[in-house]
Amino acid sequence: MHSISDPSRVRFTGPLAPFSSALAQELATLGYASTSATTQLQLAAHLSRWLQARGLGADGLTGPVIAEFLVERRRGHSHLYSLQALDLMLGYLRRVGVAPAAEARVPVGAVEELLARFRAYLLVERSVTVPVADAYVRCVRPFVQAVAATDALLTLQRVDAAQVSGFLVGHLPALGRKSAQLTASSLRSFLRFLHAEGLTCVDLSAAVPAFAFWRQSGLPQPLTPAQVQALIGACDPRSAVGRRDLAVIACLLRLGLRCGEVAGLRLDDLDWTNGTLTVRGKGNRVDLLPLPVDVGQALVDYLRHGRPATSQRVVFLTAVAPFTGLAPNSVSCIVGRAARRAGLGTIHAHRLRHTAASATLNAGATLEEVAHLLRHASPATTAVYAKTDLSRLATLARPWPSAGNRP
């Protein structure tokens, strides 16, 4: 079955069919795009067929009937299954007098009442087993209790992405891996439940990241100042190879370049007049970086006293003929050999990039400035590399969309 993107092609049967044209006009007046309007009309057509199958008319759209429809909707659809999704259609039908007025929404009361509703939702609408439902309820209980501490009536209207993230940051590190995974999954399901039941205006489930986000142990540690000095000291500045290796390490440590970016540097990328360096990175990205004095000096020493005389335009060359440009893995080998000579064990070149990010942060730079240095497309990537605290991460966070500022 092919998708429909033309609102006029949505077929209606049932009690809402007489209002389909007027509803389509309402969507057009509100500025809905063709595809979005079609999706809304398909939802209305589904509701109309469902009412017809139960012998109900538009005047039967009471709160319990709407809730029953949404239960069935969720079983077969992955979107537009919340009470908010029906707001526009129900609002129109109520304005023209064919659907009953909206019933006053009773605020959710105690923690146990809300958790009982969540458990019923899991059992009836998500068809999970009793042990799984009980485990999910157990995992989200601390979050609900945390919300209740500042919202005694649990109206839930003030729950936002920051509160979700704050709970995870404070709660997950104390858990084992499996428990943390289950907690993240449970909370994501709970937030979908809140939105589906109309208790929150925005679906906040996406505020719970994939569990891999919380695995900090796999991140490389930055080198200490003593280790940096030992690494540099392991390169002989009196030899051609030593001058090359010092310049390579300087580019990695001070500019945070990737191995491929160091290997790809060309003589034409060095602008000595303006003190800049052109870097060609991932996805054909080209960036202009300032050239620090110490990095420039290391490059000058290599170019004048270490680089073989050749027509090659690549900056870094092999030490023996035929003199060709270094491959990315050769750059990594330079770091590895220097680390072993310094007695530092195994150190991969990418750890120097991480060291550059951490050093820049410790010098007072913002994550946004570090993101520019490392040329990250995503701020989240910078946060992972920097392994920074929440106050710095907040400088990159965008406001979660709310009911009043949805795109």
Say which CATH number the domain at 384 has: 1.10.443.10
What is the C-alpha to C-alpha distance for residues 36 and 229, in angstroms, rounded to an integer? 60
Q: Is 2 a catalytic residue?
A: no
Q: Is 353 a catalytic residue?
A: yes
Q: Is 376 a catalytic residue?
A: yes
Tokens representing residue 336 in the block: 């590895």
Do 129 and 276 reside in the same domain of the chain? no
* 166 within a domain of the structure (yes/no): yes
* 380 within a domain of the structure (yes/no): yes
Do 56 and 137 reside in the same domain of the chain? no
Do 286 and 328 reside in the same domain of the chain? yes
Do 65 and 189 reside in the same domain of the chain? no
* 403 within a domain of the structure (yes/no): no
- For residue 177, the domain's CATH number is 1.10.150
What is the C-alpha to C-alpha distance for residues 133 and 120, in angstroms, rounded to an integer? 8
- What's residue 389's pLDDT? 45
Q: Which of 46, 73, 74, 376 is catalytic?
A: 376
- Of 157, 190, 213, the residue at which a domain comes to its end is 213
Percent composition of the chain: helix, strand, coil (DSSP 3-state, to 5): 60, 5, 35
Tokens representing residue 173 in the block: 């590190």
Do 116 and 176 reside in the same domain of the chain? yes
Could you list the pLDDT tens digit for every one of the 407 residues in the chain? 344 456 678 889 999 999 888 888 888 887 778 888 888 888 889 999 999 988 888 888 887 788 778 777 777 776 666 667 788 888 888 888 888 887 544 444 567 788 888 888 888 777 788 888 889 999 998 888 887 776 655 667 677 887 888 788 777 777 777 888 888 899 999 998 888 877 777 788 888 876 554 444 445 578 889 999 999 999 999 999 999 999 999 999 999 898 889 999 999 999 999 999 999 877 678 888 889 999 999 999 999 999 998 889 999 999 888 888 998 889 999 999 999 999 988 888 888 988 888 888 777 777 677 777 777 665 556 655 444 444 444 454 455 555 544 44
Do 246 and 122 reside in the same domain of the chain? no
Our count of domains for the chain comes to: 3
- What's residue 64's pLDDT? 74
Give me the amino acid identity at 20: S
Contact 24, 7 (CB under 8 A): yes
Do 128 and 194 reside in the same domain of the chain? yes
Q: Which of 350, 372, 387, 392 is catalytic?
A: 350
Do 352 and 257 reside in the same domain of the chain? yes
Q: Is 73 a catalytic residue?
A: no
Residue for token digits 């595809």? Answer: 35
Contact 280, 291 (CB under 8 A): no
Q: Is 178 a catalytic residue?
A: no
* 124 within a domain of the structure (yes/no): yes
- What's residue 61's pLDDT? 86
- What's residue 252's pLDDT? 93
Do 242 and 316 reside in the same domain of the chain? yes
What is the C-alpha to C-alpha distance for residues 141 and 114, in angstroms, rounded to an integer? 10
Q: Which of 46, 244, 258, 354 is catalytic?
A: 258
- What's residue 377's pLDDT? 63
Residue span of the structural domain in which 362 resides: 225-393
Per the rule left: phi > 0, alpha: psi between -120 and 50, beta: everything else, 275 is left
Contact 184, 165 (CB under 8 A): no
Tokens representing residue 56 in the block: 């109900």
- What's residue 362's pLDDT? 76
* 220 within a domain of the structure (yes/no): no
The reported pTM is 0.45
Tokens representing residue 278 in the block: 């052109």
* 2 within a domain of the structure (yes/no): no
- The upper half-sphere exposure of residue 188, i.e. CA atoms within 13 Å in the direction of its Cβ, equals 12
Do 243 and 204 reside in the same domain of the chain? no
* 368 within a domain of the structure (yes/no): yes
CA dihedral 307, 311, 317, 323 (to 10 degrees): -110
- Of 179, 213, 247, the residue at which a domain comes to its end is 213
* 370 within a domain of the structure (yes/no): yes
Q: Which of 54, 79, 282, 313 is catalytic?
A: 282
- Of 48, 67, 95, the residue at which a domain comes to its end is 95
Do 229 and 359 reside in the same domain of the chain? yes
Q: Which of 73, 254, 353, 375 is catalytic?
A: 353
Residues linked to residue 277 through DSSP beta bridges, in sequence order: 270, 289
Do 328 and 234 reside in the same domain of the chain? yes
Specify burial of residue 36 (Cβ count, 10 A radius: 0-12, 13-18, 19+): middle
Q: Is 244 a catalytic residue?
A: no
Cis peptide before 322 (omega within 30 of 0): yes
Question: DSSP secondary structure string, 32-87?
Answer: --HHHHHHHHHHHHHHHHHHHHTT--GGG--HHHHHHHHHHHHHH-SSS-STGGGH
Per DSSP bridges, beta strands 276-280 and 286-290 are antiparallel
